[in-house]
Every structure is written in C-alpha cells, then in structure tokens.
Structure 1
Amino acid sequence: MSKRNGLTRREFLRLSGTAVVASLVAACAPPATPEEKPAAPEVAEEAPEAKEEAPQYGGTLTVALHGEIDKLDPHQSVTIVGFQVQQNIVESLVTANAALDGVEPELATGWTVSEDGLTYTFQLRQGVKFHNGKEFKAEDVIFSFNRIMDPDFPAADRSDLEMVESIEAPDDYTVVFKLKYPFAAFLTNLESLWVLPKDAGVDFNQQLIGTGPFKFVEWISGDHITLERFDEYWEEGKPYLDKVIFRPIPESATKLVELKTGGLNFVGNVPYKDVAELEADPNFKVYRVLGVVRDHLGFNVTKPPFDNKLVRQAMGYLIDREAIAASIMEGYAKPAQIAIPESHWAFNPAIKDAYTFDLEKARQLLAEAGYADGFKATIKVSPTYPLEIKMAELIAEAAKEVGVEFEIQQLEWSTWIQQVVTEGDFEAEIVLISGGIDPDDFFYQWHHSGEIFNIWRFSTPELDALLEEGRKTIDQEKRKEIYYKIQEYLIDAAPMVHIVYRESIMASTADVKGFVMTGREDMTFKTVWIEQSA
C-alpha cells in the first residue's frame, strides 16, 4: 500500500500517526498517487537459518504496535498501525514483490494492458473464499473499487483511482478497468486498495472481512486486536500461526521490557540505541532494512533568502550527511541526495554525490547570491521527531561558519502541519517523508504545482511538464530518461535538499521464524511460524 504505504499523501498520514492531517488535507483533495510503498529499497530478510527448517504449525504471535489503530475499515484507515493489522486480514488484486520495485499477482492471477495503456484486464484467482464463506468474484472487486470512488464515502485513497473511467466484469473471474488517460503507476496504485466482500451486511469498522490468511476476532480499544488462522486460506499450507495478537504500546522502553520478559514476541520501531544490545543477545533476532524513509531540509521558495536558488544550493553543502548518519542515526542510515533511492531502476547515478559537505563551496554560493555576510532564518521542526531536532542543531552549527544564523523552532506536530503544510508559514523545515514503488510516488505529489504536499511552493512549467510526462509514459526506458531529467532539475533547483535515508528496524524473540522485512514497515505474518520447544 501507499504502502502505505508512506510519504505519498497516505504515507504522510501514516507516519504522522494522527488524524489531524486528514482533516487538514481533506478539503483540498489533492490527486496524490497511491501509496504503494517504498520503492526498491535494499531489502533485508532475516538472517538465514543454519539449516533448512520445516515450518511448524501453532502458537500465538503477540505483536507491539506503536499506537492505536484509527479505523478497522481499510478503505478509511490512514495510519501505519492500521495498515499493519489490515494487511493480515485483507488482500488486493496485486501485491508488492519482494524487492518492492514492482508488483506481482495476489487476488488476480494475471493481467493484460492494451497498447494505448487505457485498458487493464485482470484474470481473478478462482476458489478463493472470504472469511464469511462467500466465494471471491468479480462483483466484489467492482463493489470495493466503486466504494472507494464514491464521493459520498470517506475513502482515504480515492485519488488513487481518479484516472479510472469505468470498471466492468465480463464474467465472474474477469475485471476490466478503462482509464481516462494512460497512467504508468496504475498497477502499483492497486497494491494497497483492498478487496472486501459485496453484501457482507456488516460494518467493516466493527467486523472486517477479507480473504487474507487471518480472520478478525475482536478489537478491544486501547488493549488488543486478535486475529486467528483462516483455515480455508487460498495459499496452500499457510498460515502457520494459530493467532496473532496486536497490542498498542507506544513507549519504546515498555515494548523492549515486554519483549525480554515474554509479554511480546515481536516489536517494530526499535530505537537505534537498543539495536546493538538485541543483536548481541542470542535470545532475539533483529530485522533491518534501508528503505525509502528519508529526512530533508526544505525551503519556502516564496520567501527571501530562499527564493534565491544559489542560497538553497549553498544549504546543500552545509549538511554533513556522513556525520549525521554515523552519529545522530548511530550508523543506521545512509546519506541521501534525492527522494528516490539508489537501488531504484529510475535513480540517476549522475547525481549520486551532488551535494557534499563543503563549507567553502557554500560560502562561495552565498557570496554570489548577495549574502556574503550571511543571514538569519528559522528552521521549524517537531519534537514528534526528535532526531530531526538534532539534525537541525548540527546543520545550524555548520551554518555559523558561513555567517548563517538558524533559529530552531520546535512545534507540536499538529501545529507543524498547520503552519508548514497548510499555511506555508515557514522559512525552512526538517521532517521525514517516504516514497512508494513507482517513481511517480517520489516526485509528483511533492513537486507538481498545486499539489498540497508541494510544501516548498516551488513551481515551474518545465518541471510540471516533466512530471506529467513521467506518469503518462508507459515504456520504462523512456520513463527512466524522464525521471533522470527530473532528478537533475530538482538537484539544481534545490527546493529541498536531502539528508539521509533511514533504516527500519524490528525485532523478535529467537523462536520466531520466517518473517521477511521490507523497507515500508510491513508486518505480514502469513509466512511466520514459532519454533516449539521440544
């Protein structure tokens, strides 16, 4: 999912963990692309076992979520914790592949695309059952997508389908989507648009029904969500676990204590400071991956001095990315130059070292811009993301060397969203955002004119044209050329400069087997099993 997914618009909501963002952006209805989740990260699976082991059936996996889910209904939910629960209950036509650089069949067995890119025909998997016993058919796909597209329904991902003209079902196992215009990211958009049963007769916020490996049992708000094995799951032999219990535990220290004392056997969002200890203990496993969550320093290009490109470029040379990765991120990060990661097929290698730590170069650019004596400005951050505060402090120290004085202003997250995203009331900001599978997810909603998440207010006809061409060009090699140009354009224009890509880190007890880590904080447990004591 926007996966989701984030940050596409939905990922931004997920990582924020707050519904306030949804209320702020709902009226603007920006046409953000899906979430599909982080793209082509360096995928890290669990360390290989000493020998091939046959999965064992049974057991309960107790998982810590970093907060309470917002909604059970996946068509309305906008939080990462909601996604982590839902992805074990519901499924989509397609799912992300292991490398997170494309999609593969899930409830669809295959598809064809017309030469003009306007018609997508999906063949559906037969013999699949929903948790209520209903057979999965084309009518369920049409019901689910019409529900998302219904303007009177509060769907989180409606904009993911804005290019759809119609959906038809020639028979029970074929679905045909007709698009208004070619849209290269259409398949990856579908990856987080879950299929629910038609005529279920239930409130999906109370009783979520899907085709996934686990079925919903109960949600006791503030305490736990229980799922149990779906014995008629279509993927033969899976899942292995009897139950999965999700518990909302926002405090990192509490999660780790419970992991060590047996109250939990799986946790996400492991603090960097605790990783080495867990990795050294044979009673635990640590899962790490460098994904597409990245930090940046962004500028309001409508306000001086950041309306001057040379000033913005100078800021790129003030960031010691290596030092930030090594110290603030404790080695669990990698220097970043652009939104899209180096492992992605659309990454332009020519910009790999575009901005290095070079105070003399920064000083030279400031002089050319007419700021030889420096200037004063404010960087807005939020204590919701304390590492960004440390980054701002390190950048501010370096800036003093070239006469730039940064005041660091800390705002509560809802206030940060209001001032920076909604009102444009800022000079500079630092925050973390994410991407998706398709390159469109990394660029369009952040840099196209009129998009609400173009928070830097940077707008040119040239860039808009490239972004529009990129999302409507189907041929991947031609798209690569377009996205190479987009990256070169953004490196030069510098409406924001990137700092680091972060690692995502999870941990489990050593008896947990089969978990596959991705760069988008997935918690999919259909392949997971627990080694039973003899």
Structure 2
Amino acid sequence: MRTLTRVAALLAAGTCVVTSMAACSSGSTTSGGSNDALTVNVGQPATTLDPAFGYDASSLGLLQNFYVRLTSFGPKPGPEGTTQFDPVKVTPYLAKSWVISDDGKTYTFKLNKASFSDGSPITAAAVKASLERVLTAGGTGKIILTGDQDGFYKSIEAPADDTLVLNISRPYPPLLSILASPWSSIVDSKVVAQNGGDTKGSPNKWMTTHIAGGGGPFTLESYTASVGAVAVRNPKFFGEAPKVGKINLNFTSSDVTLALQARNGQADVTIGMSKTSATSLKGDPNLRVAAFDTDTTKRIGFVTTTAPFDNKKFRTALTYAIDYEGIRAQVNKGYGSLLFGPWATTIPDFDTSLAQPRKTDMDKAAALLKESGVKLPVTVQMAVQNDNSTDTQIATIVQNEWKPLGVNVEVVKLSAADIVAALSSRRYPTFVRNNGGFVYSAIYDYADDLKCGTPSNTTNLCIKEADQFAVQAAAETDQAKRQQLLNQIVTLVNDEAPFASAYQDQAVVVLGKRVKNYFYSVVMDFMTWA
C-alpha cells in the first residue's frame, strides 16, 4: 500500500497474551477443527491490534472482527460458490441510518444499540472518542480517516447517545467507505486509559497485542504475536451471530507448509499462499481454489524528474518494451488481468475502457527511443525488495527485454525498510512495487499517489491540471459528473506514462471441503464463514 508504507511496522513481542479465562493457544492445530470451528492459515503475521496504527492485511483482518464500525460493505457473488464484498455498496452497521447535508459537508448518523464486551454501551460519545483518538495518534489511521488532508474534520459531535454528527471541511464522497474500514474501529477509551493511555504520535504498547473493549462479532480468546490467535463468537454482539463459533488462526510464513496443510485438511481456509502453490492444488477434489479481483496492481514505476525518465518519449517507449502477457503467465501463473492506467479496474467511479492494456511493440519502442534524443546505451538502476521473488522476477524479465534497445538495467535489491525509504526519497529512477491497498476510491488514490508534491507520489509526477480535476471530483456529489472528471485525470496520466502496470493482481484463497460459506473482503471478515 502506498501511504501505509510510510508508517513503520510495530513489531510485537512473541509472547502469549491471554484475554479471557481460556488457556493460551499457540495457534497451531492438528486437524480442521470441530463443526463449530474453522482453522485458518495466513501467510503474513499481524503486526498490531491497534486500529490507529494497523497497516497490514492480517492486522486489519483481526480488527475487522473484534470491533464494530459505523458502516460496512454489502455482498455480491464471488467465484467458486463464494460471496465477496462490493466496494460500491456501503451498508449500515453500527449506524442504522444516516443523512448527508445538501452541501455534502455534514453527516448525521443514528446508531443501533450495541455494547462493548464488558456490557457497557457503545454510544455516540464512544464513537467520537474513538475517531478522535485515531486522528490524534497520527498513525496510519489518521491518513485514512482524513484522506491525507489537513483540517479535514471541522468537528465531531455527539448530541445524543444515539446520534453522531461529522462536520467536514469539504465534500468527500469516499467518507462512508472509509468509515467501513478497520481504521474506523470503535474502541473503548476507558479501557485504553486503564492500560497506558495515549501519547500523541506514539503507539500504545498494550494495544499492540490486546483488544480495547471489542464489541464486534468475535472476541479475542488468545493471541501470540507472529504465531496465531483464537477468536470466539461474542455473545454480546448486537447483530446477527456469526455462523461459526471459533476461528483458530495460524500465521504460517512457509509456503510449503501452507500448501501441505491445505492439501491434507489441517487448514480449512488458506490465505496468502503463493500462486505457484495454489496452482498445484487446482483439481484436488477436496479443495476449492478461488481467485478474487483486487485493487492491487504490480507497477514498474519511473521517477519522472530523474534523467533519463524525465523524458516522456523515453519512458513511453519503455512501456511498449514489456512482455505483459509473459509476466502474467510466468510470474503470476496466469492470475490477474492486464491493464494500463493509474488504478485497478475494481475501483469505483473508474471507466475501465480507459484501462485497455498496452500491447508489446518493440519496433515502436525503438522508434520512440530514437525520437527521445536520449543517448544510448544508457544504464539505469531498478529497485526491488530483496525478499520479494515476484518483483525480482519481473525486474529480470524487464532487464532482458530492454537490453537489446540499449537500456541496461542494474537491479538493486533492498530490504523492506530500505525500499520504503528509497521510494519516498526517489533514490532510484525506476522500481517494481505493488500499488493499491485497502481504500477502494479513485479520489483517495489520486491524492495519495499522484497529487503534486505528495511524499508518497513515488514517480514525482506533477500534472497541475489533473490536480484541479481531482479537487473538483472530490467536491462533486453527482456520480456521473465525478466520473467525467476522473476520466480526464486518467487520460492525462496515461499520456505521461509515469509507470507501466505489469498486471492487476488477484487474491487466491484455498478452501477445504469442510467450508460451506466463505465471504471474501479486502481484509478477513469471519462473520458468515462456516
């Protein structure tokens, strides 16, 4: 994710935390579990349980299930007999209804009756305190809740226990979607205060491994950082009870183990397996391999202010000198789809006809390089993350394709921390990196990724006309007019060719024969799993 990579990871200590009278579990199991329990293997460990500072999929998935939020997303049909979230369909959750003022700047929510895990009510005052905590903390959550805009909230008011009013400084259509995200989770401020409280700009260490109040469909029975967690059905949850009583969650970094335990039935649900391993499991009569479209694209980026990539014809030429089909087939095992543009085709308010994939054309690439006037041969450095084999493979393929054109690529492998710093400082003129995350909004994505002067604008592209269109789009409440403005942005960005999208990725989930219901969301949502 783009801005999320600016927030340092919170590395939890590998100690067992017991949050109920239940004994501590290591998170590992030897079978698929009972009829009222599912075993879930995840390839990436959670790093924190604090909504203000969460940034990775596993952390956000746990927050999704242990807390409630004002809004949620509705379902739509998914592959292999599953359902999946619909980023266009925002639905009530804690808020049973809402009214938006004509100028788009005031949101008034009426709340359902709900309680934290200790039975105390979740009132509008509790929601206000929780949102203000995230804004004050200054972590990832603040970036998301404000759309990375200073002075976004004029006020947050709780005039009655069941009424919350948000006054914002400018219309912002993605707000209801943002309020459905795990960063908007409602914590019990009194529990936070009892366990160290908050210091502006600093994480609460206790919340890294604990849930403050809860109130969601599940409670945290036990948690072992980097190992696993046990989630159990919350009897005090105000909504419909989850279909399954317990989730045994294991963090398993070994791809071999993920594949083996999926095949032999030790895991009911497997998330984060490599595409190679997932492909090997296709055809197993006891498994379903489901691929879900995401908003993540694999990007080959160019720093547009660094020579020779400051030459538009030079970088445009290189976008024609990439074997997109070959990369998708070889590196991503045929998963995903091809496109050319700033956003994935799953992003609402995006005319996908503008994302037609660029065809590989080496003759056109050579002609454009000649027109660019850049003296060849030239050597450029391409940054990749050293433990990301996918990015390294893509860089190697591109290296081989550009060399005959006189563009020699030196692949620079950096640690996860170093590549974040390198991209932020635009230290290397080209790079391979994921683009996308957890907020399905073109307006949010533009401000975060393409706006002039934004620190997370890794290509350093600056199109002032596009910035103006983005401001207008953010204030436009008419969907058709908003899409027209966004379409103009896409046309301008594509013409500048600040990057090439190798492919739009899919999330692959492997389901065992015991799984009857599975709902895919951008973060794990256990509610209807069974």
State the TM-score bracket (shorter-chain normalisation): 0.7 to 0.9
1:322 paired residue among 322, 325, 329: 325
Measure, in 1, the Cα distance between the counterparts of 2:384 and 2:499: 15
TM-score, normalised via structure 2 length: 0.85
1:145 paired residue among 125, 128, 131: 131
Q: Are 1:485 and 2:479 counterparts?
A: no
Deviation at 1:349, TM superposition (A): 4.4
1:430 paired residue among 426, 429, 432: 432
Structure 1's 208 and 64: CA in aligned 2 closer, same or farther, altered over 3 A? farther
Partner amino acid for 1:112?
V
Measure, in 1, the Cα distance between the counterparts of 2:461 and 2:440: 24
Measure, in 1, the Cα distance between the counterparts of 2:475 and 2:152: 11
Measure, in 2, the Cα distance between the counterparts of 1:146 and 1:265: 38
**Structure 1 match to 2:115:** 129
Local SS of the residue matching 1:157: helix
Asked if the contact 1:209/1:216 (under 8 Å) is kept, the reply is no
Deviation at 1:318, TM superposition (A): 0.9
Residue ranges of structure 2 left out of the alignment (5+ in a row):
12-33, 75-84, 196-205
Partner amino acid for 1:86?
L
Structure 1's 343 and 218: CA in aligned 2 closer, same or farther, altered over 3 A? closer
Cα deviation per residue 1:181-235 (whole Å; 9 max; x = unaligned)?
A: 2222222221221112342345544343222111112223343312111123222
Measure, in 2, the Cα distance between the counterparts of 1:399 and 1:77: 39
Asked if the contact 1:213/1:239 (under 8 Å) is kept, the reply is yes
Structure 1's 514 and 349: CA in aligned 2 closer, same or farther, altered over 3 A? closer
Q: Are 1:9 and 2:3 counterparts?
A: yes
Local SS of the residue matching 1:334: coil
Structure 1's 116 and 513: CA in aligned 2 closer, same or farther, altered over 3 A? same
Corresponding residue pairs, total: 478
Measure, in 1, the Cα distance between the counterparts of 2:158 and 2:455: 35
Asked if the contact 1:103/1:187 (under 8 Å) is kept, the reply is yes
Partner amino acid for 1:9?
T
**Structure 2 match to 1:76:** 53
Structure 1's 453 and 102: CA in aligned 2 closer, same or farther, altered over 3 A? farther
Measure, in 1, the Cα distance between the counterparts of 2:50 and 2:448: 25
Local SS of the residue matching 1:333: coil
Residue ranges of structure 1 left out of the alignment (5+ in a row):
1-6, 21-56, 530-534
Measure, in 1, the Cα distance between the counterparts of 2:207 and 2:370: 60
Q: Which has the higher contact order (CA 8 A, sep 6+)?
A: 1
Measure, in 2, the Cα distance between the counterparts of 1:142 and 1:18: 26
Local SS of the residue matching 2:520: coil
Measure, in 1, the Cα distance between the counterparts of 2:287 and 2:242: 22
Measure, in 2, the Cα distance between the counterparts of 1:352 and 1:339: 8
Q: Are 1:167 and 2:153 counterparts?
A: no
Measure, in 2, the Cα distance between the counterparts of 1:111 and 1:511: 39
Local SS of the residue matching 1:346: coil
Q: Are 1:226 and 2:203 counterparts?
A: no
Cα deviation per residue 1:143-177 (whole Å; 9 max; x = unaligned)?
A: 11111122xx3542113235111111221111111
Asked if the contact 1:111/1:123 (under 8 Å) is kept, the reply is yes
Structure 1's 327 and 424: CA in aligned 2 closer, same or farther, altered over 3 A? same
Partner amino acid for 2:509?
M
Measure, in 1, the Cα distance between the counterparts of 2:132 and 2:2: 22
Structure 1's 300 and 359: CA in aligned 2 closer, same or farther, altered over 3 A? same
**Structure 1 match to 2:262:** 259
Cα deviation per residue 1:416-452 (whole Å; 9 max; x = unaligned)?
A: 122222x221111111121432211332211112211
Deviation at 1:326, TM superposition (A): 1.7
Structure 1's 269 and 454: CA in aligned 2 closer, same or farther, altered over 3 A? same
Measure, in 2, the Cα distance between the counterparts of 1:197 and 1:427: 46
Q: Are 1:449 and 2:436 counterparts?
A: no
TM-score, normalised via structure 1 length: 0.84
Cα deviation per residue 1:375-407 (whole Å; 9 max; x = unaligned)?
A: 221211113321121112222222123222222
1:209 paired residue among 207, 213, 222: 213
Deviation at 1:265, TM superposition (A): 2.2
Local SS of the residue matching 2:418: helix
**Structure 1 match to 2:142:** 158
**Structure 1 match to 2:23:** none
